[in-house]
């Protein structure tokens, strides 16, 4: 089953919004600054012998992306649980309304 286009757009809009918020998160900003400094130091002299600086930059780069992915995962999990809860509430509400307002075919069965 494929999701309706409106649903796909809503999910994509939510992902874009969450990603934009995560990019501005203080921990991510701090890691980005550290990564940028390490990257600048790496290419300051363009000396191949400076492999420790490359390793340091690479570590900071991966750490930043891991933290961003962790935030995205947690927000996605939270959004998914909220969506499931809302859908379950809708189903419960529909069932309760069905009990209050039986269909006309149910009325005929009781006659």
pTM higher than 0.75 for the full model? no
Distance from chain centroid for Cα 89 = 23
Q: Which domain holds residue 46?
A: 28-84
Q: Which has the closest alpha carbon to 35: 68, 62, 65, 60?
A: 60
Residue 78 lies inside a defined structural domain of this protein: yes
Residue 12 lies inside a defined structural domain of this protein: no
Residue 67 lies inside a defined structural domain of this protein: yes
**Helices first, then strands: H and E counts in the chain:** 4, 0
Rg, C-alpha atoms of the chain? 26
Q: pLDDT 10s per residue in the chain (111 long)?
A: 576 788 788 888 888 888 888 888 898 899 889 888 888 877 776 665 567 877 888 888 898 899 889 888 888 888 888 888 888 888 777 676 666 655 555 555 554
> String of b and e for 9-19 (b: at least 16 CB within 10 Å)?
eeeeeeeeebe
The string of pLDDT tens digits covering residues 2-13 is 767 887 888 888
Residue 91 lies inside a defined structural domain of this protein: no
Residue 69 lies inside a defined structural domain of this protein: yes
């Amino acid at each position: 089953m494929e999701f309706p286009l409106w649903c796909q757009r809503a999910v994509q809009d939510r992902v874009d919004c969450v990603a934009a918020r995560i990019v501005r998160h203080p921990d991510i900003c701090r890691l980005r600054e550290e990564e940028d400094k390490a990257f600048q130091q790496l290419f300051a002299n363009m000396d191949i012998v400076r492999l420790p600086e490359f390793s340091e930059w690479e570590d900071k780069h991966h750490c930043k992306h891991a933290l961003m992915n962790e935030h995205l995962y947690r927000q996605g999990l939270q959004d998914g649980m909220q969506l499931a809860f809302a859908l379950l509430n809708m189903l419960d509400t529909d069932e309760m309304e069905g009990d209050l307002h039986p269909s006309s075919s149910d009325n005929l069965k009781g006659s």
